[in-house]
């Protein structure tokens, strides 16, 4: 495999260096994607996110075949909720909130069924899983240290949701000096218009936060 792969993207081609790039899969958890979890508790139509599963599965398979770095994240809180800001707990004023029992266990709590990653993208034992209490994957986690220890300077960021945890993470990564490529078909939102705008915000102004491409181009380049 060539040391640098040119991936068609916007605002211009992304120079992918596989050995220095990690696939970072954000929050593909049952709580966001399946009925009865946190996403539905907030009043969202969770079926909107299902179209992201197959492109993520294919990209993950191709990335694993090449033996490249994969990192998964999960949003959630300690069972004692000591890391849950009161403001986050009461936000939305819904009848049930984070920590309450639901059909997949306590909502957005570590160790519960709903908190886990969907079976289609389940992490291998060798793939780090970052448990994050916030929207960004860098805040209050050891993600930056793990990436630095592996010599990673680029990220392919996928997962949900485009305008919340994906966007927050891409912005955090950009400020820490990482180049981020977001394959549009591998990220999703409960709101199509937020998805579209979330991607536009990343690639605008010459790629102010990063690049936007698609999974087929990455898979094709990997060969
Ligand atoms: C949200 C996320 N939307 N993973 N989390 O609360 O985007």
pLDDT digits 0-9 by tens, 16-48: 999 999 999 999 999 999 998 889 988 899 999
The Cβ-side half-sphere exposure at 110, using a 13 Å CA radius, reads 17
Q: Which of 94, 107, 138, 160 to mutate to test the pocket of ligand 1 (most atoms within 8 A of CB)?
A: 160
What is the per-residue pLDDT for 58? 98
Confidence band (pLDDT; 50, 70, 90) for 92? confident
Picking from 87, 107, 105, the residue whose alpha carbon sits closest to that of residue 97 is 107
Q: Please tell me the residue having the least CA distance from ligand 1 atom 5.
A: 165
Residue of 31, 131, 165, 166 to test ligand 1 pocket, by largest number of atoms within 8 Å of CB:
165
Summarised one tens digit per residue, pLDDT across range 140-182 is 999 999 999 999 999 999 999 999 999 999 999 999 999 999 9
Whether 27 is catalytic: yes
pLDDT interval class at 109 (50, 70, 90): very high
Active site residue 45: no
- Quick check: 117 and 123 in contact, CB under 8 A? yes
Per the annotation, the verdict on 165 as an active-site residue is yes
- Residue 161 CA to ligand 1 center (angstroms) comes to 5
- pTM beyond cutoff 0.95: yes
The CA radius of gyration of the chain, in Å to the nearest whole number, is 17
Ligand 1 neighbours (beta carbon < 6 A): 27, 32, 75, 135, 160-161, 164-165
Compute the mean pLDDT over every residue in the chain, rounded to the nearest whole number: 96
């Amino acid at each position: 495999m060539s040391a640098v792969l040119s991936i068609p993207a916007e605002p211009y081609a992304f120079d992918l260096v596989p050995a220095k790039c990690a696939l970072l899969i954000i929050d593909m958890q049952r709580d966001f994607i399946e009925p009865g979890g946190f996403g539905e508790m907030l009043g969202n139509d969770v079926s909107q996110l299902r179209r992201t599963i197959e492109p993520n599965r294919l990209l993950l398979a191709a990335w694993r075949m090449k033996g490249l770095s994969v990192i998964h994240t999960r949003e959630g809180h300690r069972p004692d909720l000591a890391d849950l800001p009161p403001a986050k707990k009461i936000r939305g004023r819904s009848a049930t909130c984070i920590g309450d029992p639901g059909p997949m266990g306590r909502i957005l709590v570590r160790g519960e069924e709903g908190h886990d990653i969907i079976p289609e993208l389940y992490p291998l034992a060798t793939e780090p899983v970052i448990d994050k209490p916030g929207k960004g994957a860098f805040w209050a986690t050891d993600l930056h240290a793990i990436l630095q220890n592996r010599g990673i300077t680029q990220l392919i960021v996928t997962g949900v949701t485009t305008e919340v945890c994906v966007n927050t993470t891409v912005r955090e990564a950009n400020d820490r000096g990482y180049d981020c490529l977001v394959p549009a078909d591998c990220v999703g939102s409960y709101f199509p218009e937020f998805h579209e705008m979330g991607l536009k915000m990343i690639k605008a102004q010459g790629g102010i936060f990063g690049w936007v491409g698609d999974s087929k181009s990455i898979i094709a380049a990997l060969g």
